[in-house]
Each structure stands twice: as structure tokens, then as C-alpha cells.
Amino acid sequence: MELKQRWIDYIHNLQDRICAALEQEDGAAKFIEDKWERSEGGGGKTRVIANGTIFEKGGVNTSIVFGEVSDTMRKQLNIDGHSWFACGLSLVLHPGNPFVPTTHANWRYFEVYDKDGNLLDCWFGGGADLTPYYLFEEDALHFHQTFKNAMQPFGAEKYPKYKAWCDTYFTNTHRNNEMRGIGGVFYDHLKPTPEFDSEELFAFQQANGNSFIEAYLPIITKRKNTTFTPEHKHWQEIRRGRYVEFNLIHDRGTIFGLKTNGRTESILMSLPPTVRFEYDYQPKPDSPEAVLLDACLHPRDWA
């Protein structure tokens, strides 16, 4: 079986496993599946959970899309060739409790072909990051350490490199380089080489995808029953505003989806259900909110 089909099978299995684990943790809400087709080629399975005991809104989506390389893709996405194929899983989870962090993850595979259908280029990309509203250092350590452990067998240099890449990528550069959260790991355009061939890349992607449940669910369990006030919720919605800004201004996945006539509802599923934009809002000095903001302005080596 070719790698492309094996990857498709893997992301569908991963989607099933993650959704089952999240439903069990929530205990009330269930995912609703919406299958869709793309007129230019392909489609996907959008699964959305909402108004649960834990998750105010969330989605775990898979997509398999393909088509001809457009002038827009060549110019704005630096993709060349005649046609392309992309397949991946993307998730975003927005808990209702401000003491439970938001999380995002994505693992994808891309191929580019010439006019005769011959493979010209291929690469993997992905990662996972954590966006808390109140900082618990043990949670940050657990999340980062889990992905560090997953990457370690593939080379000790990978976690530090992809952790730094994540810190740089998930940053609102228009807000004095303020990160939207406390990072995680991120990588893109990982292409086969003699030292790290396609089978090793595939195994690397699987190791990261398989680590998500272990990285995130223990944090939910630890924080989900924490009592919160309207003031805590207010701060959560202020920080969610930063999340919206990043996704709409900087995120390549959002831009790629919209530029390739992707399904808008699935692409913008990542946006939180409630959000605040208040002019020049600043947390009180030395408050828990200020501690979180400082961590977003000054990346740390959590693991």
C-alpha cells in the first residue's frame, strides 16, 4: 500500500481515537459528524462538539483534498507543479472553564505532481500547542515533555528545534511578538532524505499524533473542576481575542484553506464561541493574568 493511502487510513483512525477519548472525558456532549465534498476534488469529515460539561466548542476534522495548482497558490503559497494532494487532521478545543487550556493540533501530508501525474515533491508538517488562560507550570511541563519524549527516538535535536519553531510561528507579530499561548512543537516541509526517509517521517508523524491524548487529557482531568468567577471568564475571552487575531491574520492553514476554496465552516471552526476585544486592555500588575501574559511575551524552555 502506498504511503498516501496509509496516511489517510492513519488520520481517520486517529480521529476516531481522539474523539472517543474526548467524549469520555466530557461525559455529556457527543461529536456531531458532518461529511462534506469539495467541488474541485476531495472532501472531509468535520466533527464538532459543543456545550458539554468541559468543551464549550471544539472540532476534530479530517480532510482529503486535491486539485490543480492555481496562480494564487504559486504566488502566495510558493507551491509549483501541475496538481497537488493534501490530507490531514486538524483539531481545536475550547473548554468553558478558564482554568482548562485551549489546545490545537494538526498533522498533514502534501504531494505535488507534474502534468503526467509523476510525484515532484512531498512533505509532512504538523505540531501541537497549548493556550492556557492561567499558567500552571506543571501543566506546561507535562505537555512539552510528552512531545519531547515522542520525538526523542528520532533524534535529540528535534524537540528543541521544533519547540523553537512553534514559539516563533504561533506569535502575533503585530502585538509586539506576543505568543498566543505557551507553545508546544511545530514543523513544516519535512521532506524525505537519505538520513530521514519517508518511512521514518511517517513513523515520526505517528509518534506525535499518538501522543496528543497523553499530552492533553491529564491536564483536563486536573483542572476541569476548578471553580471560576465572571472575572476569570472575562480574561479568558480577552485572550481568546488574541487567538482569533492569530488565526485570521497569520495562520497558514487558515490561509491555505480559504485560498484553495476550502470549506469555510470547517476552516473557521477553530474560532472560539465567545470573545472580547477591549481597547488597550492590560491586566493588573503581578496578577495571575499578568503572569500568563509574561509567559506569552517571554518563551520558556519548559521541558
Q: Which fold has domain 3-297?
A: oxygen-dependent coproporphyrinogen oxidase (3.40.1500)
pTM, full prediction: 0.94
Question: Per-residue confidence of the chain (303 residues) as pLDDT tens digits?
Answer: 799 999 999 999 999 999 999 999 999 999 999 999 988 899 999 999 999 999 999 999 999 999 998 887 887 777 889 999 999 999 999 999 999 999 999 999 999 999 999 999 999 999 999 999 999 999 999 999 999 999 999 999 999 999 999 999 999 999 999 999 999 999 999 999 998 999 999 999 999 999 999 999 999 999 999 999 999 999 999 999 999 999 999 988 888 788 777 788 888 888 999 999 999 999 999 999 999 999 999 999 999
For the annotated catalytic residues, the residue numbers are 104
- Given a contact cutoff of 8 angstroms between Cβ atoms, the answer to whether 85 and 4 are in contact is yes
